[in-house]
A and B are shown apart, each in its own frame.
Chain A
Amino acid sequence: MGAGVAGQRRQISPALRWVTDISWRPGVIIALGLLGLVTVVFIAILGVGSTVGSSDTSGIGQILMITFIQAGLSTVFSLIVGILLAWSLRHRQQFPGRRLLLSVLSTSMVLPTLVVALGLVDVFGRRGWWNALIDLAGPGFDLATVSIYGLGGIVLAHTYMDAPFIARGLLHRLENIPAEHFKLARGLGLTPWQRFRNVEWPALVPAIPGQCLVVFLLSFTSFAIVLMIGGSPRFNTLEVAIYEAIKLEFDLPRAVALALVQLFVCAALVLLTMSLRSGNILQAVRRPAPMWPEPRFTLIMQWLVIALFTLFFVTPLIAVTLNGVGADFVRLAGTATFRLALVSSLWLASVSALLAIALALFMASSQRHFTSRLRSKPSPMNKLYRGLLTFSGTVYLAVPALVLGLGFFLLARSFLDDLTAVAPVALIAANVMMALPFALVILTPAMGKAADKYDRLAFSLDLHGWARWRLIEWPVLRQDLGYLLALTFCLSLGDLGVIALFGGQGFATLPWLLFQHMGSYRTADAAGIALVLLTLCLAVFFIVPRLFEGRTRAET
């Protein structure tokens, strides 16, 4: 076992060999580096904390409890919607607009939350489209009137933003189930439910804990949505308290203490998901899915799920579009600030996306080294390394952007006099850390899949380096890489938490410009910028994955 591993290394590109072969070191070094960065950030903040930290911890327990309930509900609903949608889309492979729908679904997560929230309010708000429809229907339908403000609204908004991410990841898992399994299921005459239970569910299970972890942490640290849609401070998250400690109280030790509580929760959840995560089951490289006619009831249900969720996910975006079309785009595009923001956003997002994916490849490669029996023997150290990799890859979700921005600012200031040049670096670092969890959640199972399926063969053929990447990893990963490139690019179009302290002349991003307009009555311009962002994200999600698809369909 692993005989080929020790084989000679004579390849062209050492970096590629690291990714594709056996080395786990780069990934672990990156993981340690990221954790080191977070530690340094915390120390830098504590170093300034000349104020005496108040030891007032009253209310934190209650905040944590409510937040756990809120984040738990958000995760459960996102998961249910995600599974239903992925399953329906898996079995309805061909309908007009399917590809566009997949692109549309992806945008809800990457748009600035304020844009998404206002779009949701347009549809489900007190004076929203839904309630207008109910009014039209007459007094008998009063019960169907919705109020978005409250816990239900928070969960609705989080589901809206996060379920598509789960759906996309799970859809891919379902599409990679070997055709033989479906043939067998059909041969045995399994009902759609039995087929789901015995063929499809086992394929989904390995991906679910990781995805739920990401969604849970996103909901756990949600800020603007929780305030705007929550209706009451009752549903505040720790993030609000951290903001208060930094901005209002300037009580930095307290801010660090609260941020550590979030980190602790994150670490505990990482441990939990690791114990839940079972090994990878065999998956095929994407093949044309066999299609057999489904029973009538199943068919209706699949169409219904697709139709309803399409309506749910598309209407708020239509609202965003309708709000934006009236903007004076000619004047907007004529301003130097807009052009600067557009250019900055585009190159920042490109660099951040490429970096994030490169780091994620190394980390996923290390991760699979420690999970694969062919590559390493199970040992407590393995588990430790895996925990380290997972924790380091999700840590940003638990570190508030404000804390990170503050830390970066202090670090940069202790080394440099002029901070203008540092702003892009800080922004890229934050973007990369923000994108990593999403990239890892998708790449880790995919890389594991490639190892499980082909390691034995590759090792025995002494296949490594570029050849292995081209023959094994690339075909398995290309689709995921296309989606991830689009996702990380759009996620990185503009981060708001970090830019705040670095702000100055000559640097702006589109979301920052959007907020600036919105903050000074310029609602129409803000809506116009939101539409530009939406169009940009849609285009990227529509085009980029397609570039990576290549000839896959014809490969079998």
Chain B
Amino acid sequence: MKRFIYPLLSAAIMLSAATTQAADKPKLVIYTYDAFAADWGPAPAVKKAFEPVCGCEVQFVATDSSIGILRKIQLEGASTKADIALGLDTNLTAIARDTGLFTEHGASSASLKLPVAWNDPVFMPFDYGYFSFVYDSDKVKSAPKSFDELLNMPEDFKIVIQDPRSSTPGLGLLLWVRQIYGDKAPEVWKKLKPRILTITKGWSEAYGLFLKGEAEMALSYTTSPAYHMIAEKKHNYRAAGFTDGHYMQVEVAAVVKASKQKALAQKFMAFMVTPAFQDIIPTTNWMYPAAAGKALPGGFDKLHTPAKALLMSGKDVAKNRKAWVQEWLDSVGK
């Protein structure tokens, strides 16, 4: 048996060693979430665009989720290999700031064109989107236009949502409801409950169920229909625009304090808000670019643009999240 295992093991080690061979150029290591680092995600194009500019090698390291990036750097502490954390969202920034693991990006926020004012010395946005319910217009003829309308839909009008404890959109919906209804949020959840088909661990399961036609709507992003229009040429998926406004997700990056390549990392942060990076975002990450670039690709013009962008401060979220999640559990889980 040993004869069988050793060649396999050594082959594996060689395989992994081959990918880590050192180059003469400085190496910029960026921790991100797996969808960003995927072959079809923004990472390959970003690497190709930045490497000639910096004369360096860019390496993306994928973790399983947005929060996974932060936790990995936290666990690695001062010995982390990461120069940049890319893909944290606004709900995490307060927690991330408190860890003291990140330092100033030194880049100008002038080119940003977010629907909300942004001036943060540590966290620099690279894209944003709005949470929204997505429906199939072939099946749903009149989608709700506000939370009130959703609450008054017949009970067999089902939605699939994600658990706020394990999923970013799930937490987004929790904050969305909270921001609109304040302390009345528990009542809203109780009223919504009969229309919730199920609550999944992550976005994938919920969207999968929706695509199978199990539910009339799934919690996703206003930009989701763009994927179906551009990549699949399907025009029947729509985001349900709510007059209450839509809760935002702003995705940010930050320079790791322990980085030995701070100058290079800061150079990347400045590059991140230039068109060379921003133009990659719409059709690879299916979000809105955070800064000025060329015109959005066709299909994005057909998306619902929320009249009102909602966003809580990261501090409020960090302070109240636990209580709000418990409140949510009490309203939906009993």
Contact = CB atoms under 8 A, between A and B. Distances in A.
Interface of A: 48, 114, 117-118, 121-122, 125-127, 149, 223-224, 227-234, 236, 240, 243-244, 246-250, 335, 337, 344, 347, 350-351, 354-355, 358, 406, 409-410, 413, 417-418, 420-421, 423-424, 500-501, 503-507, 515-516, 518-523
B123 to A, nearest CB: 18
B231 A127 contact: no
A501 B68 contact: yes
Closest 4 CB pairs of A and B: A506-B19, A233-B333, A500-B64, A518-B204
B202 to A, nearest CB: 7
A398 B134 CA distance: 38
Contacts of A127: 212-214
B133 interface: no
B68 A421 contact: no
Contact of A409 (B38, B75, B163, B193): B75
B71 A247 contact: yes
Nearest to B95: A250
B258 to A, nearest CB: 14
Contact of B286 (A250, A521, A523): A521
Contacts of A423: 16
Given A247-B67, A421-B13, A505-B61, A231 B166 contact: no
B329 interface: yes
Contacts of A149: 197-198
B61 A504 contact: yes
B16 A424 contact: yes
A72 B214 CA distance: 28
Given A114-B205, A232-B199, A520-B35, A500 B40 contact: no
B286 A421 contact: no
A230 B62 contact: no
Interface of B: 1, 4-5, 8-9, 11-13, 15-20, 34-35, 38-41, 59-65, 67-68, 71-72, 74-76, 79, 158, 163, 165-166, 193, 196-205, 207-209, 211-215, 224, 227-228, 231, 286, 321-322, 329, 332-334
Nearest to A335: B39
A507 B332 contact: no
B71 A122 contact: no
A350 B5 CA distance: 9
A229 B5 CA distance: 40
A354 B4 contact: yes
A470 B224 CA distance: 61
Contacts of A521: 207, 224, 227-228, 231, 286
Contact of A351 (B9, B60, B61): B9
Nearest to B231: A521
Given A240-B165, A516-B38, A250 B71 contact: yes
B188 to A, nearest CB: 16
Given A420-B16, A501-B75, A521-B207, 18 more contacts: A48-B75, A121-B214, A224-B201, A227-B200, A227-B205, A228-B198, A231-B197, A232-B198, A234-B334, A243-B165, A244-B166, A350-B8, A421-B17, A503-B63, A505-B60, A519-B35, A520-B38, A520-B286
B213 A523 contact: no
Contact of B332 (A233, A243, A515, A520): A233
A521 B223 CA distance: 12
A246 B64 CA distance: 14
Contacts of A351: 5, 8-9
A105 B35 CA distance: 33
Contacts of A350: 8
B122 to A, nearest CB: 19
Contact of B63 (A358, A418, A500): A500
Given A125-B212, A505-B60, A516-B34, A227 B199 contact: yes
B61 A247 contact: no
A418 B165 contact: no
A504 B63 CA distance: 8
A518 B60 CA distance: 20
B34 A507 contact: no
A296 to B, nearest CB: 42
Contacts of A125: 209, 212, 214
Contact of A227 (B1, B196, B201, B224): B201
Question: Which of A117, A248, A358 has the most CB atoms of chain B within a 10 A radius of its CB?
Answer: A248
B79 A243 contact: no
A180 to B, nearest CB: 38
Given A503-B34, A507-B16, A518 B165 contact: no
Given A227-B199, A413-B75, A516-B34, A500 B68 contact: yes
B38 A354 contact: no
A377 to B, nearest CB: 34
